[in-house]
Chains A and B, each alone.
Chain A
Amino acid sequence: MSERKFKYVGTRPIRHDGVDKVTGRANFGADFDAPGMLHGALLRSPHAHARILSVDTRAAEAVAGVKAVLTGQELPKLQSMWMGGAEGGIDFRDIAENCLARDKVLYHGHAVAAVAATTPEIALQAARMIEVEYEELTPVLDLEAAVASDAPILHDDLQPIGATDPLPEGPTNIAGRVEFSRGDVDAGFAEADVVVEREFRTQMVHQGYIEPHACVARIGEDDQVVVWCTTQGGFAVKNYSAMVLQMDPAKIKVISSEIGGGFGGKTTIYLEPVAIALARKARRPVKMVMSREEVFRATGPTSGTIVRAELGAKRDGTLVAGRLSMFYEAGAYRGSPAGPGAMCAFGSYKIPNFYIEAHDVVVNKPKVAAYRAPGAPMSTFATESLVDELARELGLDPIEMRLHNAVDEGDQAPYGPVYGPIGLRETLEAARSHPHYKAPLGQNQGRGIACGFWFNAGMSSSANVSLHADGSAVVATGNPDIGGSRAAQAQMVSEELGIPVERVRPVVADTDSVGYTDMTGGSRVCFATGMAVIQASRDVVDQLRARAAQIWGVELDSVAWEDGRALPANGAEGDHEPLPIEELAQQMGRTGGPIVGKASLTAPMAGPGFATHLCDLEVDPETGASRVVRYTAIQDAGKAVHPGYVEGQYQGGSAQGIGWALNEEYIFDERGEMENPGFLDYRMPVASDLPMIDTVIVEVPNPLHPYGVRGVGETPIVPPLAAVANAMRGATGVRFTVLPMSPPRVLEAIDA
């Protein structure tokens, strides 16, 4: 595989969807309108925790222009059924009640009722006229309050899941627990020359995708539903909506729009079942678009966490023991990424003795959703901060310390199985020899380094490659294109067929037009869907060879495929003139009909991606304000199909991680209302806040993929929290254990 010479893979063509996106022509979720369309609006809870005693919709129904009003009671009542899955899994009852609350509201902003009307203003005004009688309950707003023995309980019927041994009896807010261990932890710590111990805290943060959730649902006279929406997975919207509404999924078709970012936040549904139900009631199409405020208040950020961490090493830097006790906020319903957080925490190091426990805890805040490497940044913040402290205490270079303990192929991952070929060591070595690592630091500057690890989800994908009579091709998959996946897929088709990337049209197909495909998420598209694309392309090549064999009157194995041409082979060399793809395509009708290649597969999950990040930070010691002055992200991509978009992933993940480290946080008042539901006070970095983020692509091929590809989308957000905190330690002498390291917090710590 490593021998293969690529012609198109590894180049940097302009993405096929690029021009329309930069000129504003592309259609995103809110850009679609249907004739006769109504506008939907939601009434949201003013309380973080309350019982719904009654809902009176009469006044709203009486407003001129209102065509339908819907309450949670009108949706089918589902039985709780927990399905273990991504990030703790899903329960369709929870998804349904998160779309529209039924008996209880569980966070400020929880949707309670919906209205469809002829204009958005009427819908909103009418929604406000719905009268809801609440019995207010004490909100549970932080992890400590949630696990306290006398905590108010969110769900009376919540059954803890997982490593159940020490879980409490009776009603609880602890929804689950996972545990991993190896060796003898106490003996390990006894053996350590140095032990460091800290408690780390992070706040809820949002993905901050620029495009709010939006959809249009239309229902035909035959009850067939079409949904246009912005999502990371059309099939998920189809199947989830069918479950929530207890509809036949065959009746729902989903057309995904262009997507203005998701980062995991668009892997679930909020509006679609409501829009479908309203459309069904009103018998007219219904459009729903969230405001930014709604996105913050009522979609899924990622968990706030508490991580109690302890790490021990020998004098030479060898890690001998680690202990982590972690708590992750799930928000209103179970399903925080505590599990993967626990799996990744020690993923980079050989630690002979460790104990990790992680709790999934419900609180009266919005239900979390996936966010780029869900769970890993917070646990890694703790471990990479402690590794840094150990290196300082032992007087070791932080890269040498990490190299000394880095996992290699054949080492056992903390969650059990043995690693295949991995590139952590290579990223550390690249960091050590990078000019950034040797550059002098200025006054009030510090340098931080941190590693990180995330998986590469496999799951199911389908692809069709259709050849046109002119020898160009169309590749259709079911994955909305978030990070340049269309360009990468076209490159793979080009590589196999031997035609230029511009002659391949990559298409995001709707749920009626392509085989089942799991979501765009889990760093899986270039890897798993890419594999399907390569297989489908090879299917096309086999058919092309068969057509050439037919034309030449030879056996199939006497035809080779090279550079977009059929060549006589296997002894037949020179017998026939090569047949270029254009000619074979032109003759398709005569030689057996149109050529369509297809492939469907379920890929295993593996090929973990490791990264090492370097961060230089400058701190104003009088104001606590800080600025990232230099940042380098180094990561193993296996094989970078489109290096430009791989670099874009490294940069984007770094930027989000830096924001998380420095300024982003959900701020709640004592009643549980978010105080900063907008980009003014929810401070994501703006372009001028960051230096140009330097990148280095390391390539240690993934044996599971024909080109060696690994997913790259998520790993880049794992190291920055600790990389920035370690740089802050260098610049200020203070170890920060609480994020974000906003100017007031930094100044307070410096002055303390």
Chain B
Amino acid sequence: MAQVHFGSGLQPHTGGVERIDLDVPRVREMLQELAERYPGIEVQLEQMAVAVDGQIYNDAPYQKLAPTSEVHFVPKIGGG
């Protein structure tokens, strides 16, 4: 199952949960699942990029998640 990590900024929305394991095929399903579990979190997550196994995607709902994938949420980055 994919390991989904919540930084301390998101933990108020997860009731303090730091990590959950989800059986989801793609980023999109993961986001849906999280919105169901933690209503309101989707507003926060919309603003964030998703890091899957160290690679950061600003907007990639169809990115596949492997059973061993590690997922983090990070602020979106562009640059100068």
Instruction: Name A residues whose Cβ lies closer than 8 Å to a Cβ of B.
Output: 82, 84-89, 161-165, 177-181, 207, 262-265, 267, 339-340, 342-343, 355, 370-374, 415-420, 454-455, 457-459, 519, 521-524, 602, 604-606, 704, 711, 713-714
Contact at A161–B47, with CB atoms within 8 Å?
A: yes
Contact at B76–A420, with CB atoms within 8 Å?
A: no
CB distance from A655 to the nearest CB of B (A): 15
Contact at B74–A417, with CB atoms within 8 Å?
A: yes
Q: How far is the CA of A457 from the CA of B79 in the complex (A)?
A: 7
The answer, among A419, A605, A711, for a CB contact under 8 Å with B49, is A605
Decide: A264 near B79, CB < 8 A? Known: A163-B8, A180-B8, A606-B54. Answer: yes
Q: Which residues of A contact B73 (CB under 8 A)?
A: 416
Interface centre among B12, B76, B80 (most CB of A within 10 A): B80
Decide: A339 near B12, CB < 8 A? Known: A179-B7, A605-B57. Answer: no
Decide: A602 near B80, CB < 8 A? Known: A179-B7, A180-B9, A181-B8. Answer: no
Q: Which residues of A contact B75 (CB under 8 A)?
A: 84, 88, 178, 339-340, 342-343, 415
Contact at A455–B44, with CB atoms within 8 Å?
A: no
Q: How far is the CA of A340 from the CA of B55 in the complex (A)?
A: 16
Q: Which residues of A contact B7 (CB under 8 A)?
A: 179-181, 415-416
Sample 23 A-B pairs with CB under 8 A, ordered by A number.
Answer: A85-B78, A86-B76, A207-B80, A339-B75, A343-B74, A370-B78, A372-B80, A374-B78, A415-B74, A416-B7, A416-B51, A416-B72, A417-B53, A417-B56, A417-B70, A417-B74, A419-B54, A458-B56, A521-B78, A602-B60, A604-B60, A711-B79, A713-B79
Q: Which residues of B contact A605 (CB under 8 A)?
A: 49, 55-58, 77
Interface centre among A262, A339, A605 (most CB of B within 10 A): A605
Contact at A267–B46, with CB atoms within 8 Å?
A: no
CB distance from A230 to the nearest CB of B (A): 15
Q: How far is the CA of A704 from the CA of B53 in the complex (A)?
A: 13
Q: Which residues of A contact B80 (CB under 8 A)?
A: 207, 262-265, 267, 370-374, 521-522, 713-714
Closest 4 A/B residue pairs (Cβ)? A86-B78, A264-B80, A522-B79, A84-B47
Check if B5 is an interface residue, CB within 8 A of chain A.
yes
Contact at B78–A457, with CB atoms within 8 Å?
A: yes
Q: How far is the CA of A264 from the CA of B47 in the complex (A)?
A: 21
Contact at B76–A455, with CB atoms within 8 Å?
A: no
Contact at B76–A165, with CB atoms within 8 Å?
A: no
Q: How far is the CA of A604 from the CA of B54 in the complex (A)?
A: 10
The answer, among A163, A416, A714, for a CB contact under 8 Å with B74, is A416
Instruction: Name B residues whose Cβ lies closer than 8 Å to a Cβ of A.
Output: 5, 7-10, 12, 44, 46-49, 51, 53-58, 60, 70, 72-80
CB distance from A461 to the nearest CB of B (A): 13
Q: How far is the CA of A373 from the CA of B76 in the complex (A)?
A: 13
The answer, among A84, A340, A418, for a CB contact under 8 Å with B46, is A84
Q: Which residues of A contact B60 (CB under 8 A)?
A: 602, 604
Known: A418-B54, A458-B56; 13 extra A-B contacts, CB below 8 A, are A84-B47, A85-B76, A86-B76, A178-B9, A267-B78, A416-B51, A417-B72, A458-B57, A458-B58, A521-B78, A604-B57, A605-B55, A713-B80
Q: How far is the CA of A419 from the CA of B55 in the complex (A)?
A: 9
Closest residue of chain A to B9 (Cβ to Cβ) is A163
CB distance from B3 to the nearest CB of A (A): 11
Q: How far is the CA of A573 from the CA of B10 in the complex (A)?
A: 61
Contact at A606–B56, with CB atoms within 8 Å?
A: yes
Interface centre among B56, B75, B76, B79 (most CB of A within 10 A): B79
Contact at A374–B72, with CB atoms within 8 Å?
A: no
Q: How far is the CA of A459 from the CA of B59 in the complex (A)?
A: 9
